Structure 1
Amino acid sequence: MPVYLDHNATAPVRPEAVRAMTDALNHVGNASSVHRFGRDARRRVEDARETVAALIGVQPGDLVFTSGGTEANNTALRGHGRTRTLVSAGEHEAVLQARPDAETVPLRSDGTVDLDALDVALAADDRPALVSVMLANNETGAINPVQQVVEIARRHGARVHCDAVQAPGKIAVDARALGVDLITVSSHKLGGPQGAGALAVLDGQSVAPLLAGGGQERKQRAGTENVPAIAGFGAAAEAALADLVRMTECAAWRDRLEAEARALCPRLQVHGAGAARLPNTSCLGLPGVRAETQVMALDLAGVAVSSGSACSSGKVHASHVLRAMGVSEDDADSAVRVSLGWTSTADDIDVFLDAWGKLVRRHGLAADAA
């Protein structure tokens, strides 16, 4: 059977989410209508709001449902109303392209944001600013020191947005403990349906909405709510939170995968290994073998992995994240991402290592190669 090791791109939909969506699809009702059918739809939306809020440690009233993480990031980055925007060089394109005028804060070699550079950048200009730093990188799994980012930002009067799309369901997330002002989450990264996400706007703050035309979501996001997708998002959030303890097992599998892959190929690079990482993510570099070649070879062997971000229209290209970490263009071009998740098993690691070993030997990079 094919082995799916691309959970960071999208996770298989959890059965709890399927049931919630099916039930919602079997009931008619606009969540803004006041009759019993509308009230039933509204109940599903508000139940989901409570469970998604609990997943990231915010109040239900903080949460604005969107069509996904990209829309939530765009809402935060375009609607914050501050004069300056600063983003880390490792952000997802949904942040980088939302504000191409943003100032870029460099990364350290381990893949985390350079806190000293952030401090200097904020000190250089006293205009009101928003800083956007992701909680965990989608390619390397590196976890940023967001609490320290917030401490630095506060000293300079700046607000902080955090793209936390990759973290919930893999590590515990508490937005209030992090201290951020805005935080983005997405349904399909944790086993919910694609096409649903949320932006939490904390402490009574507001952002200018991207979409106008209705009073939905406290006038923060116009348009009839996608009740089935939101219901599925809520069910997946509840299941992911309950399943969080399983990530310890995933971390052990991840570590075995990296150790045995390195034993097969001593030249293997594990990008981001020097930082605290998500327990499910490995960014593996096989010097001299293009990522596209690796992805295709593993796919033919029945193993699905990816290269870079999944949001690049199917293109396989060198990662801007790795380049920002100081990785050479050739080495960045040889990196693939392996990401485990709620459907993964120990047998999946064995299947990957078998396919990986054949790939390594085929290119003359095995430890026992003459």
Structure 2
Amino acid sequence: MALHSKLKRFLTLAGGRVQNEQYQATADVKPKSGAPSARGGIGNMLMLKGMWIWNTAQLIVDDAQIDRFISSASSINLSDVYLYVAPQWYDEKGPDIANFNTRMNASGLRVWALDGDVNYIDDPTAQETFMDGLQGLVDFNNRVDFDARFHGFQADIEPQDIPGHEGYFHNDIPESQLTAEEHTQRDTHMQNWLDVLTRASTFLRSYELSFGAAMVFWLHDYDGEPVTVPSQSSNGSITQPCIMDLIMPLVDEYVVMSYNTDPANAASRVSQQASFASAQAQQGAKMVRVLGAVETEQGVGGTVSYGDAPGKDSRGAVLEDMGTIENMLQQYPAFSASQTYAAV
């Protein structure tokens, strides 16, 4: 199920996170030979491919493994690489990261930095560490050669309760069934999430760096109800819009984690976001690239991950389903790519 023995996850659709990801090229990026041609519609987006990399510390010091990765990337027409970089690594591992980026760029691959932690949402100290990492990214880009720079940054911060982090979101409960206390806790959690994404967006755009974010697929439909957040309208009244509507303008790439091995189900989990972004662009808003992602990590269930799905635990099966998903979503101008969640 791997591009090579250490590749764990492969994402698809027009978005992405972790190690395999597909993206839509902007005007200043030349597609590699053999890359899909541009589609019509708003923005004339290109359907390309990307990947997330989590085992950065091992990969960037192993030239042989980098060679294998470049060869594998070429074989599937990869276009973007999302490299996990802990906040302190821009200094601690700077020369190795610069060498890796230079080799990726020389191979026609665009490199993004990647980081994520649920604690970045509600822990003020952790959030400042996250922002320190973004400053580290900017400082890194300023001191290295042009070909070693990152194109942008992708955040992997998903708002869910996990072991050791319970009582913030209240998993599996639609908004109408929350108690007053739970509703306040979820509102606070959502506002904190929105705040950290807003801070990141404002900071990165001030340095003309692209910003992407991995997103859960259910923000507009959580057990039949949208996930909302209090917001003050232009007339001063307080409304409760779907948080997806507020996040999308903050990013250049909105990566939807589909978490489903049935391509029809995966496509349906991305269609709402792709439709919304396309409609907003029709009304004059900036076109946000909506990407979809599929899971290939083992141990999470056969309907969730290709790594656990009998008969689908192969690169060929993943790529075939990615193509099916893309065909289902190509009607939406904002849909632009597919990704794989991997760990080279």
TM-score using structure 2 length: 0.29
By relative contact order (CA 8 Å, sep 6+), the higher-ranking structure is: 2
Normalising by structure 1, report the TM-score.
Answer: 0.28
